[in-house]
């Protein structure tokens, strides 16, 4: 199976791309946001490179001018020379300190900026992105790829600057001292360039597989943790482990291949560098002894500095080769991070809309019209991307303050209707009017800030009960939080807890029951005071006693608000102003609870079936029966 995954991965188009320097240009732009820091960093690097180039010339001077003659007068120059040498070393140390401190700060700054852009994009993306994107993919980008790229840009970019400057300086000194011998040494550079091109594609391919598998493994960890109870109850440990072993095996093989290729690359470059040094030593040594084609004569000091430049030349070349190999590795991360930041939003406000109403990060509430809650679907057609049409020529008018209940089979289009109302999706054709105006002529935030949405499985954030209720309105006082809880009857269980409103709910509300979480979500909605309210299967997974509390909470929440209720338990919608039966994306029945019972159609059959089931269950506890509520 592992081999099949590798083969499948290699077939993907993304693994056939060459290194895209436009992507790196985008990422390096994050560094150039910090110009002052870069100027100081680059100045320090060039200064360090300059001092590195001076050392061989100091050695040349010491050998030819002081040591070679061996006179007392020349030897007396040694203390001054040594003092100057120490001074240069200290200056170089200061340059290195500046380099390390600035590079570290630049790394953190780049990571901060990229994370801000990536998280901002995640806040802007519509529901459709999260429908088709695994959590592991997103987490791998945010947690793994971004720090790696910031480190690569901050450190490798400065190392590359130093290495490039030093190589150019070495070449200039070599050619100025003896251009023929310098050209002989540089003959090994073309083979090194060929090797870089040869290894580029192979290393990059393996690292792309590694990054892809890292996303899958992160997703497997997430699912394994979130689904631990299901795994235990279905005794899936062995199968899960086998699947995880297969996924991690693919990553292991690709990582080993990449490591082997990188391990081969550096020694080959080192060998070629040694060949260049050997050539310089043989030809230069011969010239010192007697005139050759490379020159009439050469002093020991010149030969020493020449060999030093030759040896030092290939050290930064090797470093550049290593950076290049690392670049191949990081290319896969760069592609994925930029693809996240560049992900287009399926739902966008036009420039004129943003200019007038602002966006979710900079709203201009002073320009917002009042929202009353009149909603109209006008000839709506909708299909999910790559899917069949869910709604076709759908029409519905909901008046301000009206409560509409949606009933129907799974997949009939109920949730699609409420998601369109909330503008989590937009219609493929037709218009949705809010207070008589196409809601695309208003900002998304204008609508969604006035929405209250309670899901079947409500999400609570880590923190206290008070914090989660206040999430509906951050500036709410403690008294307002308590009043919201009282209105939906959540105060009864909250006050029984040891820490009351300061009780920690745990991750995702794990320390509370489903019914308790649902009541807190209702309190959160009450505090937000929405104009349009959506209740999506909010009572389908709770006990009967809690359902009574929630039904009472629903009456409080729905009062004077336009409301859409998607219901499985029909007992929660009997008091709705209008009940719509949705089948195959169309309204097949419409009316009040009593009117639909008189029709004796789909709703009647569904309601009587539920009533019979509930009555049977009740008789197991209470032998006294009752008639159907009409």
pLDDT in tens, 517-550: 888 888 888 888 888 988 887 665 556 666 676 6
Distance (Å, whole) CA 136 – CA 408: 34
Q: Which residues of the chain have pLDDT under 50?
A: 1-16, 618-628, 630
Alpha helices by DSSP H, 300-424: 300-341, 351-357, 414-421
Q: CA–CA distance from 249 to each of 241, 331, 399, 464 (Å)? A: 12, 22, 59, 41
> What confidence score (pLDDT) does residue 13 get?
38
Handedness of CA 507, 512, 518, 521 (dihedral sign): negative
Residue-wise burial string across 67-92, b where 16 or more C-beta atoms lie within 10 A, e elsewhere: eeeeeeeeeeeeeeeeeebeeeeeeb
3-class secondary structure per residue, 35-53: HHHHHHHHHHHHHHHHHHH
Question: What does the chain come to in residues?
Answer: 630
> What confidence score (pLDDT) does residue 16 get?
44
> What confidence score (pLDDT) does residue 345 get?
84
> What confidence score (pLDDT) does residue 429 get?
92
Q: What is the DSSP string of 498-521?
A: TTGGG-B--GGGTTS-HHHHHHHH
pLDDT in tens, 456-504: 777 888 889 999 999 878 888 999 999 988 888 888 889 888 889 999 9
Distance (Å, whole) CA 174 – CA 187: 13
> What confidence score (pLDDT) does residue 619 get?
39
What is residue 32's DSSP assignment?
A: T
> What confidence score (pLDDT) does residue 232 get?
66
> What confidence score (pLDDT) does residue 15 get?
40
- The kind and range of the H/E element at 11 are helix 2-11
Order of strands across the sheet that contains 586-591: 451-454, 532-536, 562-566, 403-407, 578-583, 586-591
């Amino acid at each position: 199976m592992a081999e099949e995954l590798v083969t499948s991965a290699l077939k993907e188009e993304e693994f056939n791309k060459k290194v895209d320097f436009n992507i790196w240009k985008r990422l390096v732009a994050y560094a150039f946001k910090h110009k002052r820091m870069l100027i100081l960093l680059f100045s320090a690097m060039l200064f360090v490179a300059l001092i590195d180039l001076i050392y061989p010339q100091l050695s040349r001077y010491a050998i030819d001018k002081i040591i070679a003659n061996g006179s007392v007068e020349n030897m007396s120059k040694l203390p001054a020379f040594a003092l100057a040498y120490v001074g240069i070393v200290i200056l170089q140390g200061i340059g290195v300190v500046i380099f390390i401190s600035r590079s570290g700060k630049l790394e953190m700054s780049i990571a901060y900026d990229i994370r801000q852009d990536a998280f901002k994009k995640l806040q802007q993306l519509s529901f459709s992105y999260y429908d088709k994107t695994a959590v592991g993919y997103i987490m791998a980008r945010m947690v793994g790829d971004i720090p790696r790229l910031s480190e690569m840009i901050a450190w490798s970019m400065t190392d590359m600057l130093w290495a490039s400057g030093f190589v150019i300086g070495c070449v200039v000194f070599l050619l100025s001292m003896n251009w023929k011998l310098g050209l002989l040494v540089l003959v090994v550079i073309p083979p090194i360039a060929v090797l870089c091109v040869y290894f580029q594609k192979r290393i990059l391919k393996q690292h792309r597989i590694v990054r892809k598998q890292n996303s899958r493994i992160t997703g497997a960890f997430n699912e394994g943790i979130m689904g631990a109870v299901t795994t235990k109850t279905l005794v899936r440990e062995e199968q899960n482990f086998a699947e995880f072993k297969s996924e991690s095996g693919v990553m292991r093989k690709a990582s080993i291949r990449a490591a082997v290729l990188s391990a081969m690359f550096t020694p080959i470059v080192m060998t070629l560098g040694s060949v260049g040094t050997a050539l310089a030593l043989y030809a230069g040594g011969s010239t010192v002894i007697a005139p050759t084609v490379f020159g009439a004569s050469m002093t020991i000091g010149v030969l020493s500095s020449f060999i030093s430049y030759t040896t030092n030349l290939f050290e930064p070349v090797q470093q550049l080769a290593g950076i290049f190999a690392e670049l191949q590795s990081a290319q896969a991360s760069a592609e994925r991070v930029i693809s996240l930041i560049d992900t287009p939003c399926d739902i966008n406000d036009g420039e004129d809309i943003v200019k007038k109403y602002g966006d979710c990060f900079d709203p201009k509430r002073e320009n917002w019209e009042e929202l009353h809650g009149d909603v109209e679907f006008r000839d709506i057609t909708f299909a999910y991307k790559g899917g069949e049409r869910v709604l076709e020529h759908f029409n519905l008018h909901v008046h301000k303050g009206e409560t509409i209940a949606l009933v129907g089979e799974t997949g009939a289009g109920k949730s699609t209707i409420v998601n369109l109302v909330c503008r989590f999706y937009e219609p493929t054709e037709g218009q949705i009017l809010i207070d008589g105006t196409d809601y695309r002529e208003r900002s998304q935030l204008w609508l969604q800030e006035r929405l209250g949405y309670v899901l079947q499985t409500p999400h609570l954030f880590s923190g206290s009960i008070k914090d989660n209720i206040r999430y509906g309105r951050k500036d709410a006082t403690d008294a307002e939080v308590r009043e919201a809880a009282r209105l939906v009857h959540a105060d009864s269980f909250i006050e029984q807890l040891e820490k009351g409103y300061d009780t920690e709910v745990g991750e995702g509300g794990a320390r509370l029951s489903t019914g308790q979480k649902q009541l807190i979500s209702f309190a959160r909605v009450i505090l937000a005071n929405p104009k349009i309210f959506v209740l999506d299967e909010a009572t389908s997974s709770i006990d009967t006693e809690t359902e009574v509390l929630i039904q009472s909470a629903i009456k409080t929440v729905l009062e004077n608000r336009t409301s859409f209720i998607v219901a499985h338990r029909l007992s929660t919608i009997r008091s709705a102003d209008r009940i719509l039966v949705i089948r195959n994306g169309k309204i097949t029945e419409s009316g009040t609870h009593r009117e639909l019972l008189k029709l004796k159609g789909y709703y009647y059959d569904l309601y009587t079936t539920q009533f019979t089931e509930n009555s049977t269950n009740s008789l197991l506890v209470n032998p006294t029966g009752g008639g159907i509520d009409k």
